[in-house]
């Protein structure tokens, strides 16, 4: 259960005119060990850029990110990505069966391919609510909710100490999103993981996050316990964000993707 800490992290990207645009403008934030921290905020605020820095898909331009006090750049990147697992916003399913998708982890890490009957493997499946009947199916034929859970199971199979989730419910309708939220909470508790989750889904954040940080315009404007932050927003930005994304409207069902 490590602590994940960002210190004055900055990142820019080339804009349309080729000039760099500041996406992250000095982010300092701590995801406490064993807690679930959610970063909320409007889209375009730099959330997706931020997650890519945490397992070094990219490096910050300035500032440091520390995993239990150790600068990420000093950790072997392949080892780091086993310790800090990232699930992308849109789960990527390799063109193969669900089982083969899960077994890729062993393939990449050069370890023994897990037997689907092994206890550890089955525990992860049941934790992520993946029924054994799904294993032989083509992963791309699954519903988005199921794909999200395969993605989560695959991340857990890397044996991580910390989990970074990018908008886990963004593609899901509300009941599916709620079920995934419950799954996530269960996973974090049982696996004793440090979790950093990025989302614009307030409902999800309220449901499962221990702490919240509000990210807008590349800066953390506020941070604190979930209940405190939602009850007593200090910044104008957060107040406006809470008003415009009042919980019940979020992710209203567009038909149930899940049980197909």
Partner 1 sequence: MNAEVIDLDLLDLAIGYSLILLTAALARLQGIGQEREMIWASLRMVFQLLAIGYVLHLVFAFSSAWPVMLVLLVMGAFSVQVLGGRIKRKIPDFYAVVGSAIFIGCGGVTFFFCLLIVGLEPWYDPRYMIPLSGMIIGNSMNGAALAAERLSAEMNERRDEIEAALCLGATARMASREAVRSAFRAALIPTTNTMAAMGLVFLPGMMTGQILSGTAPVLAVKYQIAIMFAITGSVAVTAFLILIQGYRRYFTPAHQLRDLR
CB of 190 to partner 1, least distance (A): 21
Q: What does 47-116 look like in DSSP terms, one character per residue?
A: HHHHHHHHTTSS--SEEEEEETTEEGGGS-HHHHHHHEEEE-SSPPPPSSBHHHHHHHHHHHHT-PPPPT
Whichever of 1 and 107 has its CB closer to partner 1, that residue is 107
CB of 169 to partner 1, least distance (A): 19
Q: Using CA atoms, how far apart are residues 12 and 253, in angstroms rounded to an integer?
A: 35
Q: Using CA atoms, how far apart are residues 113 and 110, in angstroms rounded to an integer?
A: 9
Q: Using CA atoms, how far apart are residues 236 and 231, in angstroms rounded to an integer?
A: 14
Question: Binding mask 15-54 vs partner 1 (x if CB under 8 A, - otherwise)?
Answer: ----------------------------------------
Q: Are 29 and 4 in contact (CB under 8 A)?
A: no
**Among positions 4, 29, 46, 55, the unique one binding partner 1 when judged by CB under 8 A:** 55
**Among positions 25, 104, 129, 239, the unique one binding partner 1 when judged by CB under 8 A:** 104
Q: Using CA atoms, how far apart are residues 140 and 242, in angstroms rounded to an integer?
A: 35
Question: Binding mask 57-96 vs partner 1 (x if CB under 8 A, - otherwise)?
Answer: xxx-------------x---xx--xx--xxxx-x-x-x--
What three-state secondary structure class fits 137? Answer: coil
Whichever of 37 and 87 has its CB closer to partner 1, that residue is 87
CB of 159 to partner 1, least distance (A): 10
What three-state secondary structure class fits 228? Answer: helix
**Among positions 105, 172, 193, 212, the unique one binding partner 1 when judged by CB under 8 A:** 105
Whichever of 82 and 245 has its CB closer to partner 1, that residue is 82
CB of 150 to partner 1, least distance (A): 11
**Residue where the block lists tokens 């890397």:** 158
Applying CB under 8 A, does 227 fall inside the site for partner 1?
Answer: no
Whichever of 78 and 138 has its CB closer to partner 1, that residue is 78
CB of 108 to partner 1, least distance (A): 4
Whichever of 85 and 197 has its CB closer to partner 1, that residue is 85
User: How big is the site for partner 1, counted in residues (CB under 8 A)?
Assistant: 25
- Residue 116's alpha-carbon distances to 91, 113, 127, 134, 187, in angstroms, are 21, 9, 14, 12, 19
Q: Using CA atoms, how far apart are residues 223 and 98, in angstroms rounded to an integer?
A: 38
For residue 47, what are its two tokens?
């959330």
Residues of this chain, 114-173, that bind partner 1 according to CB under 8 A:
154-155, 158
Q: Tell me the β-bridge partners of 165.
A: 87, 197
Q: Tell me the β-bridge partners of 226.
A: none
Q: What residues line the site for partner 1 (CB under 8 A)?
A: 55-59, 73, 77-78, 81-82, 85-88, 90, 92, 94, 104-105, 107-109, 154-155, 158
């Amino acid at each position: 259960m490590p602590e994940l800490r960002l210190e004055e992290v900055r990142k820019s990207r080339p804009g349309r005119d080729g000039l760099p645009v500041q996406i992250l403008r000095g982010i300092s934030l701590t995801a406490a060990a064993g807690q679930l921290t959610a970063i909320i905020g409007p889209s375009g605020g730099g959330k997706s850029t931020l997650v890519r820095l945490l397992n070094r898909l990219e490096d910050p331009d300035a500032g440091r990110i520390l995993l239990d006090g150790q600068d990420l750049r000093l950790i072997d990147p392949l080892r780091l990505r086993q310790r800090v697992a990232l699930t992308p916003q849109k789960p990527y399913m390799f063109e193969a069966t669900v089982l083969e998708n899960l077994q890729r982890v062993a393939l990449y890490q050069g370890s023994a391919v897990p037997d689907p009957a092994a206890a550890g493997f089955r525990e992860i499946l049941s934790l992520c609510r993946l029924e054994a009947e799904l294993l032989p199916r083509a992963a791309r034929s699954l519903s988005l909710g199921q794909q999200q859970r395969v993605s989560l199971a695959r991340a857990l199979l890397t044996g991580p100490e910390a989990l970074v989730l990018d908008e886990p419910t963004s593609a899901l309708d509300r009941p599916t999103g709620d079920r995934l939220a419950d799954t996530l909470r269960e996973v974090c508790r049982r696996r004793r993981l440090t979790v950093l989750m990025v989302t614009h889904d307030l409902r999800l954040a309220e449901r499962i996050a221990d702490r919240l940080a509000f990210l807008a315009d590349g800066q953390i404007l506020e941070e604190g316990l979930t209940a405190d932050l939602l009850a007593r927003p200090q910044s104008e930005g957060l107040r406006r964000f809470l008003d415009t994304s009042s919980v019940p409207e979020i992710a209203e069902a567009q038909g149930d993707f899940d049980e197909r």
